[in-house]
Amino acid sequence: MKYLDEYRDADLTRKLLADIQKTVTRGWTLMEVCGGQTHSIIKSGLDQMLPPEINLIHGPGCPVCVTPLELVDKAIALASRPDVIFTSYGDMLRVPGSARDLFAVKAAGGDVRIVYSPLDALEIARKNPGKTIVFFAIGFETTAPANAIAILQANAQGLTNFAVLVSHVTVPAAITALMDSPDMQVDGFLAAGHVCTVMGFWEYEPLAAKYKIPIVVTGFEPIDLLHGILECVRELEAGSFQVRNAYARSVTREGNKPAQAVIQKVFEMTDRAWRGIGVIPMSGYRLRDKFAAFDAEKRFPEVQTIETKESPVCISGLVLQGRKKPNDCPAFGKECTPQSPLGATMVSSEGACAAYYRYGRYGK
């Protein structure tokens, strides 16, 4: 397939691997931030082809995985209401809440529907004026513009039966939190190409300077990833800590200005809880007061009282922080499988545990 096969080319892979091998002189630990990158690395077998000096750890950039359990429970409470049609991206449906998942709500008669875009949820709202349509607005900066547009459209069209359950998070705040944690061992970051397509990479420049760590904007295909790794290793070997763009076919320094403007218009920064990590200050978006009418938590205030604690067995928090590998977990592949997941990292196909399980990394 054009524009994909070129980035999965075996010859180019060998060449880039040889370049990395030639460049590297000592061990380096790199974190790919985004779950989509983790998925691609494991699916292509890239992690097993890299020189042993390169240690990849998998970052917190899976929106499904970092959505706190409490919010999943709120979603389940909303979806169980007979006056609500609950809409969500597909892979959120299997995330276990403290008692059950959204699939179970559906089986018990709740109206839960998979949509591919919040605009599809708007369409459902137009067709079902007697119900409130709640969209589960999760994700990083990547999905925020579409969600913001849905709010703006609903507002403009006077669609009062549409609301969103917001759990938006942002990458720079996560990198800051990781770098501030005491036993952090990451030498360099591969930043998430899709997030940077929207936001640009100027935000990362002060982080690279403050923590003296190279950050390379990286894409998602094997060749993109190798390119990002090579750039990052070059920076490290040269003792430099710049922000580099290894995904120039999609990303500019300034990013997508109109998309940023739409986010600005609808959302404002707020503290957010990250599953397995805890509350990170100013690490996500919430609806501006002007759009409070579209906030599902305000529309159905009873969900605000829901409070949930995480499972004590699951180490997904450590996995999300890159401090443990999925197969370091005693429950991995035993009590915890994609069929009956203990934590969110086993649920989403972008989650590190699911990627390890699916593509077979049983105890190295």
Partner 1 sequence: MIDKPNLLGWTCPRPLQNYPTIVMGHGAGGRMMADLIEHLFAPAFDNEWLGQMGDATKLDKSLFGIRDSSLAFTTDSFVVSPLFFPGGNIGELAVYGTVNDLAMRGAKPLFLSAGFILEEGLPMETLGRIVDAMAAACKKAGVKIATGDTKVVQKGHGDGIYINTSGIGVIPAGVDIGPANARPGDVVLVSGTMGDHGIAVMSVREGLTFETEIKSDTAPLNGLVEAMVEVSRGGYYPRRGRRPPAIHCLRDATRGGLAAVLNELSIASKVGIEFDERNVPIRPEVNAACEMLGLDPFYIANEGKLVAIASEAEAGTILHAMRSHELGKEAVIIGKVTAEHPSLVVAKTAIGGSRIVDVPAGELLPRIC
CA–CA gap between residue 156 and residue 149 (Å, rounded): 10
Give the chain's count of helices (H) and strands (E): 16, 11
**Residue with smaller CB distance to partner 1, 103 or 160:** 103
DSSP state, 143?
T
- Binding track over 141-170 against partner 1, x by CB under 8 A: -xx---------------------------
Q: How far is the CB of 326 from partner 1 (least distance, A)?
A: 14
Judged by CB under 8 A, the number of residues near partner 1 is 44
Does 19 bind partner 1 (CB under 8 A)? Our answer is no
- Binding track over 270-309 against partner 1, x by CB under 8 A: ----------------------------------------
Does 1 bind partner 1 (CB under 8 A)? Our answer is yes
**Residue with smaller CB distance to partner 1, 211 or 356:** 356
Quick one: which segment of 166-174, 182-190, 299-307, 346-354 binds partner 1 (CB under 8 A)? Answer: 346-354
- Cα 31–chain centre separation: 14
Q: How far is the CB of 31 from partner 1 (least distance, A)?
A: 19
Encode burial over 217-245: b for 16+ CB neighbours within 10 A, e otherwise.
bbbbbbbbbbbbbbbbbbbbeeeebebbb
**Residue with smaller CB distance to partner 1, 116 or 312:** 116
**Residue with smaller CB distance to partner 1, 7 or 300:** 7
DSSP β-bridge partners for residue 282: none
Q: 59, 68, 96, 139: which one contacts partner 1 (CB under 8 A)?
A: 139
Q: Is 109 helix (H, G, I), strand (E, B) or coil?
A: coil
Q: 89, 201, 247, 332: which one contacts partner 1 (CB under 8 A)?
A: 89
Quick one: which segment of 9-17, 51-59, 147-155, 162-170 binds partner 1 (CB under 8 A)? Answer: 9-17
- Binding track over 302-341 against partner 1, x by CB under 8 A: -----------------------------------xxx--
Strands (E), the chain: 28-34, 54-61, 84-88, 111-114, 132-139, 162-169, 188-192, 215-218, 243-245, 267-274, 278-287
**Residue with smaller CB distance to partner 1, 45 or 206:** 45
222 and 40 Cβ atoms separated by less than 8 Å: yes
CA–CA gap between residue 76 and residue 91 (Å, rounded): 14
DSSP β-bridge partners for residue 111: 85
Q: Is 332 helix (H, G, I), strand (E, B) or coil?
A: strand
112 and 86 Cβ atoms separated by less than 8 Å: yes
**Residue with smaller CB distance to partner 1, 222 or 228:** 222
Q: Which of residues 189-248 bind partner 1 (CB under 8 A)?
A: 194, 222-223
Does 13 bind partner 1 (CB under 8 A)? Our answer is yes
**Residue with smaller CB distance to partner 1, 167 or 245:** 167
**Residue with smaller CB distance to partner 1, 30 or 186:** 30
Q: 152: buried, middle or exposed (CB in 10 Å: 19+, 13-18, 0-12)?
A: middle
**Residue with smaller CB distance to partner 1, 109 or 182:** 109
CA–CA gap between residue 352 and residue 30 (Å, rounded): 15
DSSP track, 122-184: HHHHHH-TTSEEEEEEEESTTTHHHHHHHHHHHHHTT-TTEEEEEEEE-HHHHHHHHHHSTT-
CA–CA gap between residue 245 and residue 173 (Å, rounded): 20
Q: How far is the CB of 74 from partner 1 (least distance, A)?
A: 18
Q: Which of residues 22-81 bind partner 1 (CB under 8 A)?
A: 36, 42-46, 48-49, 63-64
CA–CA gap between residue 191 and residue 355 (Å, rounded): 19
Interacting residue ranges for partner 1, rule: CB under 8 A: 1, 4-5, 8-10, 13-14, 36, 42-46, 48-49, 63-64, 89-94, 114, 116, 138-140, 142-143, 194, 222-223, 337-339, 348-350, 357-360
